[in-house]
Amino acid sequence: MIFVDTSVLLDLVTKDSVWVSWSEDVLSWASDRDKLAIDDAVYAELSVKFDSIALLDGMIASFKLEHLQMPKEALFLAGKAHLRYRRKGGPRLGVLSDFFIGAHALVEKAPLITRDTRRIRTYFPALDLIAPDR
C-alpha cells in the first residue's frame, strides 16, 4: 500500500503547471508497484474542489485509490505530533490534516507520496517518503 497526499492529487485536479508532470509520473510509477490509498483527511481536503460526493468519488475511482478509514492509533499519534508542533510555536492554521495523513501512513507502515515534506519529516522521521528532490 502507498498513501497519496492531497497536494499530489490537487496537482492533477488543478493541472498545476509546475507539478502536474511530476505528480502524474510518480502516481503511474507507484500504481505499477502497489495499491494506492487515501484517508479521511485527504478525502476532506479534496472535497473543496468538487461540487458533489459523486464527482469526488469518480475522481478517486479513476485514479484507483482506496479510501481507508483512520484507525484510533493514527488519530492518537496525529494529536500527539500536533501537540509537539504547537509547543514549538507552530501556527494553528491548516496543519492538523498533515499530521493525520502522516500518522496514518506510519501506522499502516506505508510510504507516503507528498510534496509537503517539511512537517512530515520533522514529526514522523521514520515514515518513508516519496517526494521530489528539491
User: 3-state SS string over the chain?
Assistant: CEEECHHHHHHHHHCCCCCHHHHHHHHHHHHCCCCEEEEHHHHHHHHCCCCCHHHHHHHHHHCCEEEECCCHHHHHHHHHHHHHHHHCCCCCCCCHHHHHHHHHHHHCCCCEECCCCHHHHHHCCCCCEECCCC
Chain CA centroid to CA 11, Å:
12
CA distance 108 to 45: 20
pLDDT at 130: 97
Overall size of the chain counted in residues: 134
CB atoms within 10 A of CB 90: 14
pLDDT at 95: 66
Q: Which domains does the chain have, with CATH numbers?
A: 2-130 (3.40.50.1010)
pLDDT at 48: 93
Indicate whether 133 pLDDT > 90.
no
**Which amino acid belongs to residue 113?**
I
Indicate whether 116 pLDDT > 90.
no
For 76-106, the pLDDT digits (tens) are 999 999 888 888 887 766 568 899 999 999 9
Indicate whether 1 pLDDT > 60.
yes
